Structure 1
Amino acid sequence: MSVAKLPETISFTEDKLDKVAKSLGVTIPKKDANAYQILLSGLEDLAKVIEDEEDYLPYVDLERFPRENVHQPETNEYNAWAYKVTIKSQSAEDAKGLLAGKTMAIKDNVNIAGVPSLLGTDVIEKGSFVPKYDATIVSRVLAAGATIVGKGACENFSMSPSSFTNAYAFVSNPYADGYNAGGSSSGCAALVAAGIVDMAVGGDQGGSIRIPASYCGLVGLKPTYGLVPYTGIASLAFTVDHTGPMTRTVLDNALFLQAIAGADEYDPRQLGLPTPIPAYYDELVKFKDAPAQAAKSFKIGLILESFDMPGLDERVIAKVKEAAKAFETLGVDITVSEISIPMHAKAPAIWSIAARQGFSEHGLRGQNPVNFGVHDKEVPELLANWDQEMFDKLALKNPAATNTLLGGQYIRDSRPGLTSKALNLARKLKDTYNAVFDEYDVLITPCAPTPANYKSKLEDDIMTKMSKAVGTTINTMPFNISGHPAMSLPIALMAPVEDETLKLPIGMQLVGKSFDELKVFKAAFAWEQSIDWKSF
């Protein structure tokens, strides 16, 4: 690498040089120390040029989208709010948009200018990260006429499929107090399920839209990788970052996606994005009077391996298979077949290794020096240097995240090259699913392996806390690393193992070919409109 300039004075001290070398595990020979001090002093001069320059962030039109009444509520429904705010476009044209009249919650890892992002954690001080610009998805819902009424609480660093890791409050399931609302888009799920808001923006790296949707009886869609811009959202790992809609109905989900999907000049995740983007709602609403016709002649495949994963409740297995076979009763020539995809059973391992180092270095330390786009410099500044106090806080609330931090470090230090191989195998996994889509329109798996479980307690040991999450995302994570669109559709109410008197939702996962969300919507709409899931 070339050197841009040599310094006028040496500012890089010998102590600094020793510290840098020690962090790399090397020693600088005495005879070379002065040369490196000169060269690195030049780097410090260049760093000052960048520090002195004004940052270059997307523009926020505060006249068109004013922020009003930013606050943390004194009484918090289901512990689901991180912050309340009212944002509504002042444009008459926006008021005619696709989402006009809809109220919206935004996951608390999504930037809203002027509204603090807590990221669900107390590892960083409350109020230390206040975004200066709106995420692209925020700009789009506002331009489409929606009213944002707050930020839904998320799990600690968005690294939990359970709703008990937020540093400030455990989010409760609206169907049963004290039960898991799912994570990491926990607050959003509770707010939509309770009817407090119409829709919510969720985030999903391993199942964080679909698991809370399954637990709370929602339609939750993880779109195809890159279809919805991720600009302005706290990333966990570039390879698996997704954001998408959480709603109570399939038709609302399609409406929401139509408003937010499409190219964004800032997001490098959007390679291969098709044009034009389908008008999902417009196409789906054509079948409103005969919804079963939306899936006429569809071939649906049940992935056998997905029903043989560890930790699945036998009742969930039976109910998902029953729900899938119900497609054949709709009278529109739908066929449902069991198919084998052996790679599906290996997908959790591929996801775990391919994403772990990214989660550890990017999600938990904010280090992302290699991708273009828009970046929040506050995040890496706050997370660059972990200490024992930070680790202990995180371990108390969310040991899944501290395990990720340790695991990512282990992979980097002891298994160099393994992440690269896992990413190669992710391409193989994607190609394997793609080959099946040559014959089938939609694939089906269970979503969450059980109904929601009861919350853990803060004083529980690590393994007790972790037991609530082990295996939860085993059928959702494969489609984060393959990038295919995947939806949780509510299909039934079922008693949790702790209390036979309760009835909690369970979801069925529908998966489509990349950028073929329309077929997923059509299948889901046909089922939802033909069958009452609460009595199925």
Structure 2
Amino acid sequence: MSVARLPEKISVTEEQLQTTAGLFNVTVPERDVEAYRVLLSGLEEAAKTIELEEDYLPPLDLTRFPRENIHKPNSNEYNAWAYKATIKSTLTADAGGLLAGKTVAIKDNICVGKVPSLLGTDVIPEASFVPEYDATVVTRALTAGATILGKAACENFSMSPTSFTNAYAFVQNPYAAGYNAGGSSSGCAALVAGGVVDMAIGGDQGGSIRVPASYCGLVGLKPTFGLVPYTGIASLAAIVDHAGPMTKTVLDNALLLTVLAGVDEYDDRQIGLPVPLPSYVDELRKFDSDPKQAAKGFRIGLIVESFDMPGLDARVIAKVKQAAKAFETLGVGITVEEISVPMHAKAPAIWTIATRQGFSEHGLRGQNPVRFGVHDAALNIALSKWNQEKFDKLALRNPAGTNALIGGQIIKDKYPGLTDKALNLARKLKDEYNAVLAKYDVLITPCAPSPANYTSKLEDDIMTKMSKAIGATINTMPFNISGNPAMSLPIAMMSPQEDPSLKLPVGMQIVGKSFGEVDIFKAAYAWEQSFDWKSF
């Protein structure tokens, strides 16, 4: 590596040099101290040059997309809003777009210019991160004629499949107050299911779209890795970051994905993205007169290992199998068979090891990998220093976050190279799914392992809080690490174990080959239009 130039003055002290070297368990020999002081002072001069430059972020068009009435609401439907604002295009041409007349909520880890991003946490000061630009998905929704009504509350650092880790309020399930709405796209799910907005854009690293969709009776799609640009969205680990649509119907889901998907000049994650993409909504509208024909001749595989994962409610297993077998009653030549993907049982361990170091260093400490794209320096500065106060705040609200913070360092220190091995095994996992998908159109698994559970209390101990999250993503996280598209489709209502008088939604997960969203939509549309999920 070359050195750009020598410094005009020496700014690095011997003490600073040796203290920094000590972090690597080394001491710089005395004979070399002055040479390193000179060389590293050159580095500091380069740093000061960059500090003085104005940041270079995507432009924010406040004339075309003005922001009105930005505020933190006092009265809050289902505790599901982080910030409210009204944003829509002023251009007549945009008013005729695919999302004309649709209202949209944006998950609070997605940048909306001039609107604070709380990220569900009080670890950093409230409203300390106010983005200066719109995420690509926000611009695309506005250009398509949507009206954005605000930022939907998300879980603390987007690191929980439950809805009681947000530092400002516990998001409520619209079907039963006090019950879990799922996470981490909890506010999105509650606002759509409660009829406050038509649709929402959520985020998913391990099931954060699909689990709340399952708990709240929505259609929630985690698209193929890279299909929907992640530019302008707070990252946990780039290898599993996804954003996608949450809606009440399959057709609306296809509509929103049609708007969001496609090449983005800023996003370096879009490996193998096909061009041009289909219009997902037009593909479904071909079957308006007879929706079951959308899945004519489909071969559907039930992953047997997914029904044998620990912690699954036996009633969920039975209902998902019943819903899957119901495809064969549509009379359009659909076959449903049990198939085996042996690595599916190991996928949660692969996801855990492949992501934990990234969650710790990247998502929680702002140590961004050197990647092309748009970087949010203000957020990463806010996360760069941890102390006891921050740790205690996160542990109180979301011990899954503090567990990840420490766990990532343990993996880094005690198991060097294991993250790399897990990432290699993730490719093997993807190959196993795709080998089966070469013979089947879609695969089916349970989504969340049970109906929503009752929320915990702030004063509960760590294990009590964690117990309601353990296993919630056991069948969803595999497809984050493989990158395959996966959807939660509502298929039934079921009583939670603790209250037989209640009925809460249950979802079935439909999985497709990479960039095979059309087949997922076809299967889901045929089922949705043929059965009443609330009485199935």
What TM-score does the superposition give when structure 2 sets the normalisation length? 0.99
1:134 is aligned to 134
What CA distance in whole angstroms lies between the structure 1 residues aligned with 2:369 and 2:186? 30
Q: Is the 8 A contact 2:304 2:339 kept in 1?
A: yes
- Partner residue of 2:27? 27
Aligned partner of 2:373 in structure 1 is 373
Q: Aligned equivalents of 2:172 and 2:289: distance in 1?
A: 36
Equivalent residues in 2 for 1:62-77, closer than 5 Å: 62-77=62-77
Shift of 1:18: 2.8
Letter aligned with residue 206 of structure 2: G
How far did residue 104 of structure 1 move? 0.4
SS at match of 1:228: coil
Where does residue 207 of structure 1 map in the other structure? 207
- Structure 1: give runs of 5+ residues left out of the alignment: none
What is the CA–CA distance in structure 1 between the aligned matches of 2:369 and 2:11, rounded to whole Å?
24
Q: Which amino acid aligns with 1:165?
A: T
Distance 1:367 1:36 in 2: 24
Letter in 1 for 2:316: V
Equivalent residue number for residue 192 of structure 1: 192
Q: Who is 1:439 aligned against? A: 439
Q: Is the 8 A contact 2:362 2:369 kept in 1?
A: no
Counterpart for residue 120 of structure 1: 120
CA deviation profile, 1:464-502 (whole Å, cap 9, x unmatched): 000000000000000000000000000000000110000
SS at match of 2:82: strand
Equivalents in 2 of 1:186, 1:369: separation in Å?
28
- Which shows bigger deviation, 508-517 or 49-58? 49-58
d(CA) in 2 for partners of 1:157, 1:192: 21
The AA in structure 1 aligned to 2:108 is D
Name the residue aligned to 2:426: 426
Task: Identify the residue that residue 503 of structure 1 maps to in structure 2.
Answer: 503
2:17 and 2:82 map into 1 onto residues whose CA distance is: 42
Aligned length: 536
How far the C-alpha of 1:275 sits from its partner, in A, is: 0.8
* Counterpart mapping for 1:88-487 below 5 A: 88-487=88-487
Native 8 Å contact 2:21 2:28 kept in 1: yes
**3-state secondary structure, aligned to 2:269:** helix
**Secondary structure of 2:443's aligned partner:** strand
Q: CA deviation at 1:16?
A: 2.0
CA offsets, 1:6-29, max 9 Å, x none? Answer: 111101122322331222222222
CA drift of 1:289 comes to 1.4
User: Shift of residue 3 of structure 1?
Assistant: 1.0
1:288-311 deviation line (CA, Å, top 9, x unaligned): 110000000000000000000000
Question: In the aligned structure 2, how far is the partner of 1:188 from the partner of 1:83?
Answer: 12
The CA distance in 2 between the partners of 1:380 and 1:131, in whole Å, is: 12
Q: In the TM superposition, what is the alpha-carbon distance from 1:52 to its structure 2 partner? A: 1.1
Structure 2 CA distance, aligned partners of 1:503 and 1:494?
A: 5
- Letter of the structure 2 residue corresponding to residue 269 of structure 1: R
- Residue 35 of structure 1 and its aligned partner are, at CA, apart by 1.5
Q: 1:219 Cα shift?
A: 0.1
Alpha-carbon displacement from aligned partner over 1:323-360 (angstroms, at most 9, x marks no partner): 00000011111000001110110111111111111111
Cα distance, 1:2 vs. partner? 1.4
Distance in 2 of aligned mates of 1:54 and 1:347: 44
* Deviation per residue, 1:437-480 (Å, 9 max, x gap): 11100100000000000000001000000000000000000000
Q: Calculate percent identity across the aligned residue pairs.
A: 75
Once the 2 structures are TM-superposed, how far is the Cα of residue 37 of structure 1 from its aligned partner? 1.2
Please give the alpha-carbon distance, in whole angstroms, between the structure 1 residues aligned to 2:533 and 2:481.
30
SS at match of 1:444: strand
What are the superposed Cα offsets for residues 116-167 of structure 1, whole Å, 9 maximum, x if unpaired?
0001000000011000110000000000000000100000000000000001
What root-mean-square deviation, in Å, do the aligned CA atoms of Structure 1 and Structure 2 show?
Answer: 0.7
Could you say what secondary structure the match of 1:533 adopts?
coil
Residue 46 of structure 2: aligned partner: 46
- Name the amino acid aligned to 2:110: V
Residues 360 and 408, structure 2, Cα contact 8 Å, conserved in 1? yes
One-letter amino acid of the structure 2 residue matched with residue 509 of structure 1? Q
Change beyond 3 A, Cα 1:372–1:229? same
* 1:494-523 per-position Cα deviation (integer Å, ceiling 9, x unaligned): 000110000000000000010010000000
1:269 match: secondary structure: coil
* 1:193-236 Cα distance to aligned partner (Å, 9 max, x none): 00000000000000000000000000000000000000000000
Aligned twin of 1:535:
535
CA distance in 2, matches of 1:86, 1:379: 24
Distance in 2 (CA, whole Å) between partners of 1:229 and 1:412 is 29
After TM superposition, the score normalised by the length of structure 1 is 0.99
2:492–2:507 contact (8 Å) kept in structure 1? yes
Partner Cα separation in structure 1 for residue 345 and residue 495 of structure 2:
27
- Report the Cα offset of residue 381 of structure 1: 0.7
SS at match of 1:62: coil
- Distance in 2 (alpha carbons) for counterparts of 1:100 and 1:14: 63
| Structure-2 separation of matches of 1:291 and 1:184 | 32
Letter in 1 for 2:88: K
- 2 CA distance for matches of 1:357 and 1:369? 12
What is the letter of the counterpart of residue 362 of structure 1? Answer: H
Deviation sequence 1:392-415 (CA, Å, 0-9, x none)? 100000000100011100011110
Q: Secondary structure at the match of 2:534?
A: helix
